[in-house]
Amino acid sequence: MTMNPSLLDAARDVMRRAYAPHSHFRVGAAVRSSSGAVYLGCNIENASYGATLCAERVAIAAMVAAGDRAWTEIAIASDADPPATPCGICLQVLVEFATEGRVLLAGPNQCRETSLGALLPDPFVLRHGE
């Protein structure tokens, strides 16, 4: 593992705490903010399905609740090879708090690095001075 093993390790570690009784697809996310702090999230499913929270959004929620407003890097771990990419809703939430950022994707055997700009090249944004 050459790309930021600590952030990937954190994502793989929190993935074990996923609550995924419906899909059995566990996801872990570790986001590093511009302050250097790392925030964690795992997916939290719901019997209604629609109320399910993705790991990335749980990590971003933890970051904002802690007082950070910008991220620079996120690692996302799952059991998918090739590694799973963030869903469209998560990409939209990620772009709310970064104009660009490194995205590390990890499966059990494969990892790849991409970027927010590559995954969401032409996002909808409303910037209002916050």
Query: Which of 14, 45, 77, 104 forms a contact with ligand THU (CB under 6 A)?
Result: 45
- The CA distance from 112 to 123, in Å, is 22
Q: Which of 39, 43, 38 is nearest to 17 (CA)?
A: 43
Judged by CB under 6 A, does residue 23 bind ligand THU?
A: yes
Q: Cite the active site residues.
A: 56
Beta carbon nearer to ligand THU, 55 or 129: 55
Shortest Å, Cβ 35 to ligand THU: 24
Structure tokens at 117: 């700009």
Structure tokens at 26: 């566990």
| Of 32-40, 65-73, 82-90, 118-126: span binding ligand THU (CB under 6 A) | 82-90
- The CA distance from 94 to 81, in Å, is 23
Judged by CB under 6 A, does residue 52 bind ligand THU?
A: yes
